[in-house]
Amino acid sequence: MGALTIHDSIPIPTTTSSMPRLGFGVYQLYGQHCRQAILAALAAGFRHIDSAQLYRNESEVGAAVRQSPVEREQVFLTTKIRAAAGSPEKTYQSALDSVNRVGGAGGYVDLFLVHIPGSSREAREELWKALERLHAQGKAKAIGVSNFRVQHLEEMKEYACVWPPHVNQLELHPWCQQRDLVQFCRDNGIVLQAYSPLSRGEHLGDEALGAVAAKHGKSPAQVLIRYGLQKNWVPLPKSGNPERIKQNADVFDFALDDDDIKALDGLDQGPSGALFPANVK
């Protein structure tokens, strides 16, 4: 694992695409602040940006990438759709509008996710069919889900033409490891993305984490990102601070050993360790 670099990517099974191993999240970043954060992330070496309709910043993501000297083809752009819009055609149009906001008119996104499973099987099917349509048109190079449990993934077999979904984006960090779900995804070739890999800073003062950080001369946040990489997740750290953005990218000059991984694995609190408990039930 020590040979990992910020330029490394992970193949997305059953597609011709690959995804950079480290991504940049833009939740709660808006307007010019969002654009500046993305430009800072691209300057720091990030080539993977994660947005969503819910975040209300898809247009800023697209504008920042177009403003950047980095070629569009070198940047992996993700967005998500949260809710069906009332009919299959309206839901498809909602998703297509997102593609145009992020990728520009006539453009594409590299990954489009269903943001949450919600409570309705009919809505899940309608959302997935919209993404399958975009995928078939080349407007979404890969499609996946977020916060889907095993039962939701199994249920998809009843209505999906594309199964397994290419990606499942989950809350993943040492205190919320979702091991059974992670294993199911691994067994079925579903790439795992980790949102809130820094646990929103809630555990940065943890003693065990601090000991690992001190051992390597790194910050607790850098250790958490490295942990996600070595678990073969795709971490999506978020920051609006240019210095922290650079630090979050600086995780490729050290590697955690077996003792470090064991110590961090031992922090798992199951569902009670989740920042978003409704998504892990």
List, in order, residues 6 or more apart from 107 with CB less than 8 Å away. 62, 72, 99, 100, 139
pLDDT of 254 higher than 80: yes
| Closest residue by Cα to residue 21 from 34, 36, 10, 32 | 10
Structure tokens at 160: 């999906």
| β-strand partners of 244 | none
The answer to the question of residue 151 being in a domain is yes
The answer to the question of residue 143 being in a domain is yes
The answer to the question of residue 276 being in a domain is no
The answer to the question of residue 167 being in a domain is yes
Residues spanned by the domain of 131: 18-202+231-240
The answer to the question of residue 221 being in a domain is no
The answer to the question of residue 27 being in a domain is yes
State what percent of residues in the chain have pLDDT above 70: 99
Position 164: which residue type?
Answer: P
Evaluate the CA torsion angle 130, 135, 137, 139 in order and state its sign: positive
C-alpha 1/C-alpha 255 separation (Å) is 7
Question: Which of 88-92, 117-121, 183-187, 255-259 is predicted with the least confidence, judged by mean pLDDT?
Answer: 117-121
What is 167-182 written as a DSSP string?
Answer: EEEEE-BTTB--HHHH
pLDDT, average across residues 105-113: 96
Structure tokens at 216: 């390597």
Pairing relationship of beta strands 191-195 and 109-114 according to DSSP bridges: unpaired
Cα radius of gyration rounded to whole Å, the chain = 18
State the DSSP code for 119: S
How many domains would you assign to the chain? 1
Question: Which of 76-80, 90-94, 273-277 is predicted with the least confidence, judged by mean pLDDT?
Answer: 273-277
The pair phi, psi for residue 122, each rounded to 5°, is: -60, -40
C-alpha 36/C-alpha 65 separation (Å) is 11
pLDDT of 2 higher than 60: no
Q: Residue 55 has what pLDDT?
A: 96
Beta strand ranges found along 29-131 (DSSP E): 48-50, 76-81, 109-114
Catalytic choice (55, 92, 108, 227) = 55
pLDDT confidence of 105, banded at 50, 70, 90?
confident
pLDDT confidence of 127, banded at 50, 70, 90?
very high
pLDDT tens digits, 154-191 = 999 999 999 999 999 999 999 999 999 999 999 999 99
Q: Residue 250 has what pLDDT?
A: 98
pLDDT, average across residues 244-266: 98
C-alpha 183/C-alpha 153 separation (Å) is 13
Tell me the pLDDT of the chain averaged across its residues.
96
The answer to the question of residue 114 being in a domain is yes
The edge-to-edge listing of strands for the beta sheet with 24-25 is: 24-25, 48-50, 76-81, 109-114, 140-146, 167-171, 191-195, 234-235
Q: Residue 223 has what pLDDT?
A: 99
| 195 in active site | no
Is 166 labeled as ligand-binding?
no
pLDDT, average across residues 51-73: 96
pLDDT, average across residues 241-249: 98
The domain spanning residue 37 has which CATH number? 3.20.20.100
- Give the pTM: 0.95
Q: Residue 220 has what pLDDT?
A: 98
The answer to the question of residue 66 being in a domain is yes
pLDDT of 260 higher than 70: yes
pLDDT tens digits, 201-237 = 889 999 999 999 999 999 999 999 999 999 999 999 9
